[in-house]
Amino acid sequence: MVGGIMLYSLATCLPLDLNVMHDRNPLLVKLSNGDIRNGYERHILNKTHEDRTYSLEIDGIKSNKIVLKNTHEINMNDIPVFAESVGHFRFF
C-alpha cells in the first residue's frame, strides 16, 4: 500500500515548482522620480533532468517597468534554470 502511494506521488509530481516572496524590508521604496518600487524574490525549481528556460508574465503592470535580476539583468522571456536545481531571481 505504502509503495503504491509513493509510486503514484512520484509519477504525478510536477516538473516545476515556483515560489514568489515579497522582500521583507522595506515594504516599498520611493524613487527619486516619484515612482514606487517593490522587490520580490522568485525561486524556480527545475525538477527535470534537462536545463530549461522559462518565461515570466505579469498582468496589470507594464512589462517595461519590471526588472528581473540574478547576478545581472535577465530577459523575462529567457530565464535559465539548470537541471535539478533552483534558480534564484529578484524582480522589482
Q: What is the mean pLDDT of residues 48-71?
A: 78
Give the separation between CA 59 and CA 61, rounded to whole angstroms: 6
Give the separation between CA 26 and CA 13, rounded to whole angstroms: 36
Handedness of CA 60, 78, 27, 37 (dihedral sign): negative
Handedness of CA 38, 43, 89, 64 (dihedral sign): negative
Q: Please tell me the total number of residues recorded for the chain in this structure.
A: 92
Assess whether pLDDT exceeds 80 at residue 54: yes
Q: What is the mean pLDDT of residues 19-40?
A: 81
Assess whether pLDDT exceeds 80 at residue 87: yes
pLDDT at 51 (0 to 100)? 92
Assess whether pLDDT exceeds 70 at residue 12: no
